[in-house]
Amino acid sequence: MSQGFTELRELVQRDLIREIRTVQKQLESPCPSIFVLRPDDRKPWQKDIGSQRINLQLYCEHPGCLHPVQDGGLYPIDNPKKWLKTMTPHINRLFGILKYVTPVMGPWLNISAPIYSDLIKNDLALTKALVAKLPEIKSDDDDHSFIDDERGDRPNKISGAALRMLHEFLKQKDPEQVWGGLTRITTPEGDVLWLCKEHIKEIYPTSS
């Protein structure tokens, strides 16, 4: 991988995370925001994804080295159709940075490199397939309480409604806010990230 592509990948990921954090600050909703969605059996998506059992897997947010957390951070989604309908803008934006994820090896891994590489590749393939199917999601009711009125026809705008739902979802599923061992830090550059302990050590070597 060329140095130029590596820098571009980090820049794209960092810029979107900054945008998410800006909206979260307005909503007072500090929580991790990078994740993938996996079918229960990790097989291809069913025809009706709104009725399929889906799990959310949190990722460490280190730009240039996004990766699934190693211990936990996996939560079942109870009402997939409604959840996906509201989260569609955020999922679409996430795909813009997840497609640049590559299986970078490092000390945060406690699984073998081939297994890790396959895990990342499968996550990306599932995410790409999910994004293609999201337009099929339709609501069975008239409840628009989660829809962001400011979104309008601007699909590239970060949805406050989606981030509110994500925050409430994570608080409900993980009331102790363990979140797979992710910790909220502010980098020397001023970025707010949710990182695994190993990536925190890379940024702040003296951290315990």
Q: Classify residue 208: in a domain, yes or no.
A: no
Helix (H) or strand (E) holding 202: helix 197-203
pTM: 0.82
Checking if the pLDDT of 15 tops 80, the result is yes
Condensed to tens digits (0 to 9), the pLDDT of residues 16-72 reads 899 888 888 887 878 999 999 999 876 788 888 888 889 999 999 988 888 888 889
For residue 32, the model assigns a pLDDT of 94
One-letter amino acid of 5? F
Query: Which residue did the predictor score with more confidence, 158 or 172?
Result: 172
For residue 74, the model assigns a pLDDT of 95
Query: Which residue did the predictor score with more confidence, 61 or 7?
Result: 61
Query: Which residue did the predictor score with more confidence, 119 or 84?
Result: 84
Gap between the Cα atoms of 73 and 40, Å rounded: 15
Number of neighbours of residue 138 by Cβ within 10 angstroms: 8
Number of neighbours of residue 84 by Cβ within 10 angstroms: 21
Q: How many domains does the chain have?
A: 1
Q: Classify residue 78: in a domain, yes or no.
A: yes
How far is C-alpha 21 from the chain's CA centre?
Answer: 13
| 33: exposed, middle or buried (Cβ count in 10 Å: 0-12, 13-18, 19+) | buried
Checking if the pLDDT of 108 tops 90, the result is no
Q: Classify residue 40: in a domain, yes or no.
A: yes
Q: Classify residue 199: in a domain, yes or no.
A: yes
Please check whether residue 182 is in contact with residue 73, taking contact to mean a CB–CB distance below 8 angstroms: yes
Condensed to tens digits (0 to 9), the pLDDT of residues 110-165 reads 555 567 778 888 888 999 999 999 988 864 444 443 333 333 333 446 778 899 99
Q: Classify residue 95: in a domain, yes or no.
A: yes
Q: Which domain holds residue 156?
A: 3-203
Which residues face 58 on adjacent strands? Answer: 35
The Cα-based distances of 41 to 20, 199, 203 in angstroms read 30, 30, 36
Only one residue has tokens 């945060």, namely: 108
The Cα-based distances of 75 to 39, 46, 55, 173 in angstroms read 11, 19, 5, 7
DSSP for residue 30: -
